[in-house]
Structure 1
Amino acid sequence: MVLDHIRAKVHVKNDLVRALLAEFTGTFLLLLIGNSAVAQHVLKRPQPADMVNVYIGFALAILFGVAVSAKISGGHINPAVSLMFLTFKQLSPLRFVLYTIVQTLGAFFGALVSYAVYCDAINHFDGGNHTVVGPRATAGIFASYPSLHLSNFNGLLDQIVGTAVFCFLIAHVTDKRNSYASWLQPVLVGTAFLGVGVAFGYNAGFPMNPARDFGPRLFTLFVYGGEVFSHKNWFWVPVLGPFIGAVLGGWLYQFLIGFHTPQDVEEKYVVLTGNQELKPLTGKEVVEAEPLVVS
């Protein structure tokens, strides 16, 4: 009764405001959990095989980031995913712009809180000399940086291909013709990102999400200085690459699989749309509501 009384007082009635709050919160959780997983990986001087902890950490971060926001906003938590659904005509241009802004803000504050939790450990590790590159570099906890062997062109290709695979799988999971239960979709999206991390994590840490990379990079500007943007002129790669890859992967799914998948006329389950459940990939009932996920 107490919760119902409070809910009646504070419940946000505007659908768009609710959706923006959900996208902010989901992306905040993504970065808080994900960056903290990377912090543990970096600060304990791990062996290379220990990267599996980062893969699992980010997969779980996406799973729960999507799960907590999906019924309200669709649970994108990734501007590249929002762009994919925009091209599917399942998201309005206004919502795409606003989603991108709040997702980036959520990532910024998620990184900030993660830094606050681990700031003593970071200072102990690097002696208070926060650097972007080198044996004691810690900026990579929060945003992506290319490996020594990686060129910007190859890095762009890495981001395009990795995000294309991820969004191909998201398009499959959210396609109503595949009849995945709404509770299962965040699990499958998180699992898909685990697969992407295992396959594409070596070159630059598989950001695959413009907000996930740019928001924390903007935060680290105040802690690490301008090199977070100037180093190898890299900062634009994990922003542009995922946008290209998301559209490419989403439409490859449609042309290779989605447009050819028969509708199961016996299927009783219907994925609700809009601010109630994860949005299906197609359907006449969909106008401007937001589909599932991620970044």
Structure 2
Amino acid sequence: MKKFIAETMGTAILVLFGCGAAVIAGADGTTGIGLAGISLAFGLAIVAAAYGLGAISGAHLNPAVSLGALMAGRMPAAEFVSYVIAQILGAVIGALLLYLIASGSAGWTGGLGQNGYGAGYMGEYSLTSALVFEFVMTFIFVTVILGATQPGAATAFAGLAIGLTLAAIHLVGIKVTGVSVNPARSIGPALFAGGAALSQLWVFIAAPLLGGALAGIVHKAGLTRAD
């Protein structure tokens, strides 16, 4: 139960801080924090959750990360299912809190930091671009997580390394998809935003899960392990 609560709280923090930075603080670098600021918010949210809750659950906060851990042999299937349920619940709670806050502004346009691609979304990148980006970046992200938390690694700095990696991924790809690399992070906002966010949601579930699974398989094979 402690792990379930920690994963729920941590994922809510990630969505509230990261998506909240995009919705409330603004992507306009002139009047808001800009894309770099949003990227940093996602990274700092991971750092906060990792050091605040990591000792309880490992602070996966992401079904793709948990799937990578499962494939790497680091967690049993039953625990994986529990983590995913907690993560999705946390993302929905985070998105709900953001909705309640953002909708109180007369200038709110209805966005909740949802992911997307194609015409009308950010850089208007194609479906292929979105799939490749989400798959590759999730593979890299989960590889870093598994490497930074493996025996022999400087695990005291793992939260910082993971958070900075997520920030770097956002710096590269916000204009491509808004950056998911996390099915739960995509599900929460999409449920409230509706429309294209829901119809395109499969991309942000399938590609990250495949990337995370491959990272776990590669790690278990010893290709990204220190031993």
Both structures adopt the same fold (TM-score exceeding 0.5): yes
Q: What is the rounded CA distance, in whole Å, between the counterparts of 2:215 and 2:169 in structure 1?
A: 13
2:70–2:80 CA contact under 8 A, matched in 1 = yes
Distance 2:44 2:5 in 1: 21
- How many positions carry a matched residue from both structures? 221
Return closer, same or farther for 1:19/1:125 CA change in 2, 3 Å cut-off.
Answer: closer
1:167-186 equivalences in 2 (<5 Å) = 167-178=142-153, 180-182=154-156, 184-186=157-159
Indicate if the aligned counterparts of 1:78 and 1:210 stay in contact, CA closer than 8 A.
yes
Q: Report whether the alignment pairs 1:246 with 2:219.
A: no
What's the TM-score, normalizing by structure 1?
0.69
1:175 partner amino acid: Q
Unaligned runs of 5+ in 1: 1-16, 131-137, 263-295
Larger Rg, first or second structure (1 or 2): 1
Aligned equivalents of 1:200, 1:153: Cα separation in 2: 14
Matched residue SS, 1:89: coil
Q: Report the residue type matching 1:257 in the other structure.
A: T
Stretches of structure 2 lacking an aligned partner (at least 5 in a row): none
Q: Which AA in structure 1 matches 2:208?
A: P
Whether the aligned pair in 2 keeps the contact of 1:37 and 1:57 (CA below 8 Å) is yes
* One-letter amino acid of the structure 2 residue matched with residue 228 of structure 1: A
C-alpha separation between the residues in 2 aligned to 1:50 and 1:24?
28
In the aligned structure 1, how far is the partner of 2:196 from the partner of 2:161? 37
**2:77 is the alignment partner of 1:93:** yes
Partner Cα separation in structure 1 for residue 99 and residue 39 of structure 2: 19
Percent sequence identity over aligned pairs: 28
* Separation of aligned partners in 2, 1:181 and 1:91: 18
Q: 1:203 aligns with which of 176, 192, 201?
A: 176
Equivalent AA in structure 2 for residue 142 of structure 1: G
Aligned to 2:223: 256
Looking at structure 2, the residues matched to 199 and 187 of structure 1 have their Cα atoms a distance apart, in angstroms, of 19
Question: Counterpart of 1:24?
Answer: 8
Give SS of 2:21's match: helix
One-letter identity of the residue aligned with 1:229 = L
Alignment correspondent of 2:129: 154
Q: Secondary structure at the match of 1:208?
A: coil
Q: Which amino acid aligns with 2:182?
A: N
Which whole-Å CA distance do the structure 2 matches of 1:199 and 1:174 have between them?
24
Distance 1:176 1:117, change over 3 A: same
CA distance in 2, matches of 1:216, 1:105: 12
Compared CA separation, residues 181 and 85, structure 1 to 2 (3 A)? closer
CA distance in 1, matches of 2:85, 2:185: 12
State how 1:1-295 maps to structure 2 within 5 Å: 17-42=1-26, 45-46=28-29, 50-121=34-105, 123-126=106-109, 130=110, 138=111, 141-148=112-119, 149-178=124-153, 180-182=154-156, 184-221=157-194, 226-230=195-199, 234-253=200-219, 255-258=222-225, 261-262=226-227
